[in-house]
Structure 1
Amino acid sequence: MSDGDAARALPGDRFAGLGTEFGGLTRSLLGATTIGGVLRELVTTAARVIPAASLVSITLRGPDGLFYTPVETDPIATELDQVQYRAGEGPCVDAARPDGPAHAESQDLAREAKWPQFGPAAARHGVGSLLAIALLPDARPPQVSGALNVYAHDAGALTEADREVALLLATHGSLALANTRAVTAAELQNAQLRKAIDSRDVIGQAKGILMQRRGITADEAFDILRRTSQELNVKLTVLAETLATRHVDLDLPEPLA
């Protein structure tokens, strides 16, 4: 779909401010010299121009067939991506496969029959809907494929207009990634952002502390961290680092029954 086609598909008031956004995005993407730079620009823009987006991430599938999340707007998105990777199912996994669909989505994850493991797990983490758009759809070995993932807290929150915007973003991103001429296994390994890796580590430590102190499961520990982060309006990584490094007794809620 061309930019003009997408513009006609979107309501006028919704598209009014997107022309400037996409103009700036195109300049930023074409000016990026690394894969990491392109991916960061994609998730930042998606979170800004898709109103229902609560979390945004990128899934990449390496030549070895393994999935990983090099960049996201919040570590919660990485945690949700990882649930899909472990289960081998979900919109992110489907859209990121080289032979996968152009997009995969669910408007009600709690009741989603297509992904019986991931759907209920996502709902327990407070996510109601998810849209994943394929990146690098023409990838061939040893190149990689991927997906742009948009999570929304509420079921039914992601609209057809949101899908059109995400498709435009993914198209721009795919062209920019191809333009870097560096979509190889070695370059993608370098694109594994240190911050994302460190974030996962500190969240794992915080979960372990809560599990030991309270005798709860990993899912319950993560849910406590997520809800506390939202209630205090503090980034999940900051909360987790405080708990993991200072071993303080924070006033965290008990897990839901």
Structure 2
Amino acid sequence: MAYSRVMTTGSDEHVGFSFGDEFTRLTATVLGATNVGDVLQRVVDATVRLIPEADIVSITLREDRGRFHTPVETSPEATKLDMIQYDTGEGPCVEAARPEGTTIAASADVAADPRWPRFGKAAAELGVGSVVAAALLPGPGSPRLSGALNVYSRRVNGLDSLDRDAILLLATHASLAVAETQAVTMADLQAAQLREAIDSRDVIGQAKGILMSRRGVSADEAFDILRRASQELNVKLVTLAETLTERHGELELP
């Protein structure tokens, strides 16, 4: 299937461009892949180039045991958006990343979407208006990784049907990257910078446990405390969690 898009410039001149060359280059990269992380990064970079409203992009991978990670992303904000979904268990990226999940999960207005109230509220607070997550198909080998390509737009109704089609194609390329890369082992995942994601999740879990014990709150409430404190202090969530776990006897969150 060939794709083209017509863009309007400030002078109202219409400029068309084909996605064909980009997908051809991406396919060649995927088929010659030896490192899954490099190819996934190229998929993310291509998504930013091809989708005009792709303000934030990430890829979610889900291990056989059910653990989610974000190996590649365009900014720490992408990881934060993904982590909110991993911790609350709701949102488009976790729905699309589950092996039994939907092929595509999308919302034109996350703040008003009744399916994901906690994620929608948090995403809107981070300036996200709409989102599309397309499933990565699990490969035949072991471990059977599944996942999703996540595209966030700051504008409500920012991602149209043509964008969704292109995102599905890009997700297919990411699936091929995982399937074609030989021996996707934990060592490969570490090379793909997943070790940082695993460590980040662990330290956030420890910080949540400390807050749950000290304040008598639930896991969701503890995460909300961390998220609000991160925003108020303008400190990355992971950095705040690390500080809390190392110095929890000295610190009190706002």
TM-score, structure 2 as length reference:
0.72
What is the CA–CA distance in structure 2 between the aligned matches of 1:139 and 1:100, rounded to whole Å?
Answer: 17
Contact 1:75 1:199 in 2 (8 A): no
CA shift, 1:109, in A, is: 0.6
CA shift, 1:98, in A, is: 0.2
Q: Given residue 219 of structure 1, which amino acid in structure 2 is its aligned partner?
A: R
- What does residue 73 of structure 2 align with? 72
- What does residue 162 of structure 1 align with? 163
SS at match of 2:183: coil
What is the CA–CA distance in structure 1 between the aligned matches of 2:124 and 2:142, rounded to whole Å?
Answer: 35
What is the CA–CA distance in structure 2 between the aligned matches of 1:75 and 1:104, rounded to whole Å?
Answer: 22
CA shift, 1:196, in A, is: 6.5
- What does residue 104 of structure 1 align with? 105
1:211-235 deviation line (CA, Å, top 9, x unaligned) = xxxxxx5434544677xxxxxxxxx
Residues 116-127 of structure 1: matches in 2 within 5 Å? Answer: 116-127=117-128
- What does residue 255 of structure 1 align with? none
CA shift, 1:179, in A, is: 1.2
What is the CA–CA distance in structure 2 between the aligned matches of 1:26 and 1:194, rounded to whole Å?
Answer: 27
Unmatched runs of 5 consecutive residues or more in structure 2: 8-14, 203-224, 244-254
Unmatched runs of 5 consecutive residues or more in structure 1: 202-216, 227-235, 245-257
Q: Does 2:143 correspond to 1:135?
A: no
- What does residue 173 of structure 2 align with? 172
CA shift, 1:36, in A, is: 0.6
Residues 22-37 of structure 1: matches in 2 within 5 Å? Answer: 22-37=23-38
What is the CA–CA distance in structure 2 between the aligned matches of 1:76 and 1:50, rounded to whole Å?
Answer: 18
Q: Given residue 124 of structure 1, which amino acid in structure 2 is its aligned partner?
A: E
Residues 131-210 of structure 1: matches in 2 within 5 Å? Answer: 131-137=132-138, 142-185=143-186, 187-193=188-194
1:56-105 deviation line (CA, Å, top 9, x unaligned) = 00001111101111110101000010000000010000000000011101
SS at match of 1:149: strand
The percentage of counterpart residues that share the same residue type is: 52
How many residues align? The count is 214
What is the CA–CA distance in structure 1 between the aligned matches of 2:176 and 2:150, rounded to whole Å?
Answer: 17
Greater percentage in strand? 2
CA shift, 1:177, in A, is: 2.0
- What does residue 39 of structure 2 align with? 38
SS at match of 2:143: coil
What is the CA–CA distance in structure 2 between the aligned matches of 1:222 and 1:27, rounded to whole Å?
Answer: 41
Match of 1:219 among 227, 230, 242: 227
Q: Given residue 82 of structure 2, which amino acid in structure 1 is its aligned partner?
A: D
- What does residue 52 of structure 1 align with? 53
